[in-house]
Amino acid sequence: MADRIELLGAFADPTRQAVLNLLRSRPSTVGELADRLPVSRPAVSQHLQVLKTAGLVDEERRGTRHYFRLNPKRLAELREHIDGMWRDALAAFSNFAAKESSGNDKRRKTRAYPTKRSR
Amino acid sequence: MADRIELLGAFADPTRQAVLNLLRSRPSTVGELADRLPVSRPAVSQHLQVLKTAGLVDEERRGTRHYFRLNPKRLAELREHIDGMWRDALAAFSNFAAKESSGNDKRRKTRAYPTKRSR
DNA sequence: ACATTCTGTAAGCATAGGCTTACCGTAAGG
DNA sequence: CCTTACGGTAAGCCTATGCTTACAGAATGT
């Protein structure tokens, strides 16, 4: 999806990471989170909106209290994205290793890397 | 580790995501990446330094060319981090569902949520 | 009704950081 | 050597955005 950058940006911020870590144990309200963080309540509220827009948290309103909880599905998506990148990295590495060894069977005079780059 | 925020910050930037995506297929040089991206070569160079510091890419110098490749180990670490958060989210959810259903066995007069918050 | 509690929103500020241009160093090739 | 290719670094600009204070709104309890 194109909103992956939005997802990653929301996920990476240090304060939002702290919020997400607090939500790992249980759902919490805005004030509850603000009490445990070194930033003001409005700041937490704003971060929660970002996280909600990114789909990383869900909101459930009960009276005046707004409970926020982690969204496992969205986290799974993020994990899959990283996992795909990890698999490609492994494949690229083994592929490179194979070519490197085949090229080094005998002492070669040709370079293992190109001398000129096509532009 | 405490450098996880550094890792996440390095990983999340849109341009760096584009760089990482290009490196999924094969190792590349700075100029090669710059040709395929809408930013200047120095910008790519700076991003690569950030990625290298975060451990997401490795550098191999051959002559004047600096080849960069993805670091699967670091990607695995990142995946594990997300995976742990995902597991906690699932556990918190099922735990919440259990408490909710046990509290709703009969129509109750006490609130399912607290009226006052301990401060 | 009124006060209290819990929250979202607006405005403004200040720092971080991404990008560009200019410059310098290094390696390779003729 | 001298030139060319390739890349890192410095300085500066400029936008994004995280944070605070102040204000407004909705739900609850007395």
Q: What are the Cα distances from residue B79, in Å, to A65, A82, B71?
A: 33, 6, 13
For chain B, percent of residues with pLDDT exceeding 70? 76
pLDDT surpassing 90 at residue A114: no
pLDDT surpassing 70 at residue B28: yes
Q: What is the pTM of this model?
A: 0.86
The whole-number pLDDT of residue B84 equals 98
The whole-number pLDDT of residue A46 equals 98
- The listed range with the strongest mean pLDDT (A98-102, A113-117, B27-31) is B27-31
pLDDT tens per residue across span A43-84? 999 999 999 999 999 999 999 999 999 999 999 999 999 999
Q: Is the CB of A13 less than 7 A from some atom of nucleic acid strand D? A: yes
Residues of B in contact with A72 (CB under 8 A): 86, 89-90, 93
Instruction: Write down the mean pLDDT value for chain B.
Output: 85
**E-only strand ranges, A1-119:** 28-29, 57-62, 65-70
Nearest to A11 among B8, B14, B65 (CB): B8
To the nearest 10°, report the CA torsion of A94, A97, A99, A100.
170
pLDDT surpassing 70 at residue A113: no
- What would the mean pLDDT of B89-101 be, rounded to a whole number? 71
Only one residue has tokens 């194109």, namely A2
Strand D: positions under 7 A of a protein C-beta atom: 5-10, 17-22, 25-29
Residue B43, token pair as written in the block: 């910008």
Q: Is the CB of B9 less than 7 A from some atom of nucleic acid strand C? A: yes
Residues of A in contact with B83 (CB under 8 A): 79
Q: Is the CB of B41 less than 7 A from some atom of nucleic acid strand D? A: yes
pLDDT surpassing 70 at residue B2: no
Only one residue has tokens 């939005």, namely A6
Residues of B in contact with A58 (CB under 8 A): none
Cα A64 to Cα A42: distance, rounded to the nearest angstrom: 15
Residue A55, token pair as written in the block: 């789909």
pLDDT tens per residue across span A17-46? 999 999 999 999 999 999 999 999 999 999
**b/e string for B40-71 if b means 16 or more Cβ within 10 A?**
eeeebeebbebbbebbbbbeeeeeebbbbbbb
Q: Which residues contact A117 (CB under 8 A, 6 or more apart)?
A: B29, B31, B32
pLDDT tens per residue across span B42-57? 999 999 999 999 999 9
Label residue B63 left, alpha or beta by phi (over 0 means left) and psi (-120 to 50 means alpha): left
pLDDT band at B109 (very low <50, low <70, confident <90, very high): very low
- Residue pair B17/B50 in contact (Cβ under 8 Å)? The answer is no
pLDDT surpassing 60 at residue A109: no
Cα A27 to Cα B93: distance, rounded to the nearest angstrom: 9
DSSP for A58-76, please give it.
Answer: EEEEETTEEEEEE-HHHHH
Q: Is the CB of B15 less than 7 A from some atom of nucleic acid strand D? A: no
The whole-number pLDDT of residue B119 equals 34
The whole-number pLDDT of residue B11 equals 98
The whole-number pLDDT of residue A111 equals 44
